[in-house]
Amino acid sequence: MNKTKQVMSKFKAVDFFCSGGGMTYGLRQAGINVIAGIDNDPDVKETYEINNPGTKFIQADVFNLKETDLFEYIGIEKNDDNLILIGCNPCQYWSIIQTDKKKSQESKDLLKEFHRFVKFYNPGFVVVENVPGLERKAKESGLKEFIDILENRGYKVYWDVHKLNEYGVPQTRKRFSLIASRVTDNKIIPEKSEHKPVVKDLIGEQNGFPKVQAGFKDNTKFQHSVAGLSKENLEVLSKTPKNGGNSVKQRKHFKGKGFRDSYSRMSWDKPAPTITTKFFSISNGRFAHPEENRAISLREGATLQTFPKDYVFYANSMQANARMIGNAVPPEFAKRIGEAIIKELNNE
């Protein structure tokens, strides 16, 4: 596995809603000591702990977690200039992707729960990462109130909707990100990449991904497993033009319903679409391989999310592993957030 930087910075972080550890891993790569991750999903525990050794996993529902519990669990204290609190709460309710809003109703208030811990501990830094809908619905989501609270407490707040392809992530993914600090007069802004990666930069035979067929099960830690396809869908995909082609079935039968790019292929020379929690299914977006007659594999999805190839996912099903991968903050973007914080405080 890619080693975390040997010399850790003076910063320590707590990653709320950590899931499988994308944000944690990226910050660790930047040199930040992530002392704990918090999530209420027991299925992510093994993945989080094994890939982020030395970081404590706290299984807890934030609605029931008391502010003082964190002092008991990990010993963090109030007004610590070197403490970073991170809130990357599940975002389905504020997403533009068609989801069951009733099912995700509870998640809409998670940012407000995160407020409690920020107000109680008054950390040196606060990081929030979420879907752009959080900013579009700033009042309803609690974001406006959150920013007002931070600014009234003397934090310098930077926020924007970022195109992650500009930050080394090979996707068209857009994300809302906020970095706030009360120990600097400057806004902390992640640095863009000189290169905008595309699909062929990360997957394909040239990058160590052997050709496989739909339904292939990889029992190794490489996890190059692929969902199966019905005879009908396999025939549809076999007729879909290679390298970015759109499905005839999609054009004729969906007529505005479902996902616009369902049954269509990724392009080698373009960024991938946003890797969602359903990226293993060609009926849920442009998730067909550019050339092979299959959806992309679990490992290909994780790689397009910028997880290293030896980051292993330990949930008990393809669906659960894909959910961890799709929900993750891409580690490359998280690393750039961490590096920006360190750079600002080191006056580099």
Catalytic residues: 91
Q: How far is 77 from 90, CA to CA, in rounded Å?
A: 26
Q: Closest by alpha carbon to 146, among 176, 121, 113?
A: 113
Strand arrangement of the beta sheet that strand 83-87 belongs to: 56-59, 33-39, 12-16, 83-87, 125-130, 174-181, 156-163
* Residue 13 backbone dihedrals phi, psi, to 5 degrees: -135, 155
